[in-house]
């Protein structure tokens, strides 16, 4: 919002607020930027001196304050303080940072369908709170909508009409802004919530085309077009054109309700945000508001066989990524899955590999750094003993195999020797060994002496 320096005739203090800048001026008075002793910033509106003595105008101003007090919702500026009995009546509302919708479109051009629908949905919810309080704004237009970081805000209830209040206008007179007035306002008929729906439709059409749906011209020409001619929506996107056309119907009964309009605009905003035209507002609108983002819908989750395949692939990627875990500096890492081939020493040693996605996964105990020769050293357990590593288990298996083979060989030899015993029982006699050639005295002669 553009700010201007205070002029010489402007007050410096109003009530308990110190004034700093001018925010703008309207038909009723001037709006200032002020702050209280705690530093809270407010938008303070003071009616003009020439209107301060007009009782009719004071009544209208009091009605604006009463309407602001009755409205509960986050789409309007909250009333902070007011003084209706002062020489120049005033009231202060919460200051809303951010440009008006008029300035945003005038400087940056038309908005995308997703942005227009999101803004319209938020404004519809705000009007729903206004209408539930028994208030009709009667002057909804782009310059009375501020785009704050938390969402659009409706301001300036200067000519708002509350239920039970008498109208301050006469038949044939129009109060409001030409091009955004409803036909019943131009005729001087009673206003209803449908009056604000017409103004909102014209406002959203302006956001789409950067122009009023009834063109440009003098006040008389604009008011005539509002009553007798159809709105021009040639530049409005196809997603919004039918809905805005229903909002701009001449008969208030043909316009959608506030709640219905809010729901339909939300649907359009959600649908358009996923298309190429959706995009967040920038330059003053802020990126924190949900109505400003063109959020992308997350991809659909696979089901059935696709879900199983998707889960299997994720398991394989996680398994492969954990094959070389980084050790923690203070404690040994947990065991992890390592990928290996089904053949080789691990398979021969009985490591019981398991299959995962066409590859063999074996459990490798953690905390065993490779030692000399590529062998792993055993890890001490909490009880102080040693837990056998893969090399000890392999050695044990080899010893067992060696003992079994040795026993089998020994049994085979014993069986072969035992087969010769039964041959003597069959009467087969073995020839006696031949006597040595040196005689009965042995090789050394009689007495064991060598001859």
What are the pLDDT digits (tens) for 295-335? 333 334 444 555 566 566 666 655 655 554 444 444 444 44
What are the pLDDT digits (tens) for 357-371? 545 445 545 444 444
- Considering the domain architecture, whether residues 208 and 194 belong to the same structural domain is answered as yes
The pLDDT confidence band at residue 205, using thresholds 50, 70 and 90, is very high
- Considering the domain architecture, whether residues 135 and 265 belong to the same structural domain is answered as yes
Question: How many Å apart are CA 113 and CA 277, to the nearest integer?
Answer: 7
Domain that holds residue 254: 99-296
- Considering the domain architecture, whether residues 66 and 139 belong to the same structural domain is answered as no
The model's pTM is 0.58
- Considering the domain architecture, whether residues 108 and 71 belong to the same structural domain is answered as no
Question: How many Å apart are CA 119 and CA 117, to the nearest integer?
Answer: 6
- Considering the domain architecture, whether residues 54 and 174 belong to the same structural domain is answered as no
The count of domains in the chain is 2
- Considering the domain architecture, whether residues 221 and 268 belong to the same structural domain is answered as yes
In terms of Cβ atoms closer than 10 Å to its own Cβ (0-12, 13-18, 19+), residue 47 is: buried
Can you spell out the DSSP letters for 127-139?
HHHHHHTTEE-S-
Task: Give 402's contacts (C-beta < 8 A, 6+ positions apart).
Answer: none
Helix (H) or strand (E) holding 279: none
Catalytic hit among 139, 238, 254, 300: 139
CB atoms within 10 A of CB 353: 19
With a cut of 90, say whether residue 203 has pLDDT above it: yes
- Considering the domain architecture, whether residues 210 and 87 belong to the same structural domain is answered as no
Q: Which of 187-196, 350-359, 411-420 has the lowest mean pLDDT?
A: 350-359
Degrees to nearest 5, angle at CA 319 with 317 and 325: 115
- Considering the domain architecture, whether residues 211 and 146 belong to the same structural domain is answered as yes
User: Is 139 a catalytic site residue?
Assistant: yes
The first and second tokens of residue 200, run together, are 């909102």
Top mean-pLDDT range of 309-323, 348-362, 368-382, 384-398: 384-398
High-pLDDT (> 70) share of the chain, %: 61
267 located within any domain: yes
- Considering the domain architecture, whether residues 67 and 84 belong to the same structural domain is answered as yes
- Considering the domain architecture, whether residues 83 and 166 belong to the same structural domain is answered as no
- Considering the domain architecture, whether residues 23 and 103 belong to the same structural domain is answered as no
What are the pLDDT digits (tens) for 260-297? 999 999 999 999 887 654 444 443 333 334 445 443 33
Question: How many Å apart are CA 1 and CA 101, to the nearest integer?
Answer: 10
What mean pLDDT is reported for the chain? 74
6 located within any domain: no
Q: Which of 97-111, 284-298, 378-392 has the lowest mean pLDDT?
A: 284-298
With a cut of 50, say whether residue 339 has pLDDT above it: no
Residue 223: give its domain's CATH number: 1.10.510.10
364 located within any domain: no
The pLDDT confidence band at residue 3, using thresholds 50, 70 and 90, is confident
What is the arithmetic mean of pLDDT over 381-385? Answer: 46
What are the pLDDT digits (tens) for 123-176? 999 999 888 888 888 889 999 999 998 899 998 775 555 444 433 333 334 455
With a cut of 50, say whether residue 427 has pLDDT above it: no
- Considering the domain architecture, whether residues 78 and 213 belong to the same structural domain is answered as no
In terms of Cβ atoms closer than 10 Å to its own Cβ (0-12, 13-18, 19+), residue 352 is: exposed
Can you spell out the DSSP letters for 175-223?
-S-TTS--HHHHHT----HHHHHHHHHHHHHHHHHSS-TT-S--HHHHH
With a cut of 80, say whether residue 424 has pLDDT above it: no
216 located within any domain: yes
Res 161: pLDDT: 52
The residue from 272, 296, 320 where one domain ends is: 296
9 located within any domain: no
Res 394: pLDDT: 85
355 located within any domain: no
Name 100's bridge partners.
146
345 located within any domain: no
Residue 67: give its domain's CATH number: 3.30.200.20
The first and second tokens of residue 350, run together, are 């009985």
The residue from 95, 128, 156 where one domain ends is: 95
The residue from 55, 80, 95 where one domain ends is: 95
What is the arithmetic mean of pLDDT over 206-227? Answer: 93
74 located within any domain: yes
Task: Give 291's contacts (C-beta < 8 A, 6+ positions apart).
Answer: 118, 119, 121, 122, 151, 152, 269
């Amino acid at each position: 919002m553009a700010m201007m320096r205070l002029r010489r005739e402007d007050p410096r203090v109003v009530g308990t607020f110190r004034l700093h800048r001018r925010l703008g001026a309207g038909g009723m008075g001037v709006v200032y930027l002020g702050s209280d002793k705690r530093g809270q910033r407010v938008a303070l509106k003071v009616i003009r001196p020439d209107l301060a003595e007009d009782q009719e105008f004071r009544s209208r101003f009091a009605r604006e304050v009463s309407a602001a007090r009755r409205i509960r919702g986050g789409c309007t500026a909250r009333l902070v303080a007011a003084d209706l009995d002062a020489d120049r009546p005033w009231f202060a509302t919460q200051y809303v940072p951010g440009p008006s919708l008029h300035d945003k479109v005038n400087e940056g051009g038309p908005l995308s369908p997703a942005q227009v629908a999101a803004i319209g949905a938020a404004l519809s919810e705000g009007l729903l709170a206004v209408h539930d309080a028994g208030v009709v704004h009667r002057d909804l237009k782009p310059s009375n909508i501020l785009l704050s970081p938390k969402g659009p805000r409706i301001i300036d209830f200067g000519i708002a009409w509350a239920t039970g209040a008498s109208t301050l206008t006469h038949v044939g007179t129009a109060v409001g802004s030409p091009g955004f007035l409803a036909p019943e306002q131009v005729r001087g008929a009673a206003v209803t919530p449908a009056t604000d729906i017409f103004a909102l439709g014209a406002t959203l059409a302006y956001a789409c085309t950067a122009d009023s749906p009834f063109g440009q011209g003098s006040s008389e020409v604009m008011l005539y077009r509002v009553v007798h001619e159809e709105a021009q929506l040639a530049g409005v996107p196809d997603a919004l054109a039918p809905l805005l056309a229903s909002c701009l119907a001449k008969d208030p009964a043909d316009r959608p309700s506030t709640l219905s309009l809010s729901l339909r605009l939300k649907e359009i905003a959600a649908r358009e945000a996923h298309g190429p035209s959706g995009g967040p507002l920038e330059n003053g609108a802020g990126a924190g508001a949900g109505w400003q983002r063109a959020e992308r819908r997350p991809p659909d989750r696979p089901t059935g066989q696709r879900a199983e395949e998707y889960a299997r692939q994720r398991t394989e990627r996680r398994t492969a990524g954990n094959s070389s875990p980084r050790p923690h500096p203070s404690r040994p890492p947990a065991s992890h899955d390592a990928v290996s081939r089904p053949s080789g020493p691990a398979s021969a040693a009985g490591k019981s590999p398991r299959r995962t996605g066409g590859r063999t996964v074996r459990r490798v105990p953690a905390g065993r750094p490779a030692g000399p020769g590529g062998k792993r050293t055993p890890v001490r357990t909490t009880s102080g003993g040693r837990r056998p590593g893969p090399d000890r288990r392999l050695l044990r298996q080899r010893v067992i195999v060696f003992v079994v083979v040795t026993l089998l060989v020994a049994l085979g030899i014993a069986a072969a020797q035992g087969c010769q015993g039964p041959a003597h029982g069959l009467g087969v006699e073995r020839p006696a060994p031949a006597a040595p050639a040196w005689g009965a005295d042995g090789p050394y002669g009689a007495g064991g002496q060598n001859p």
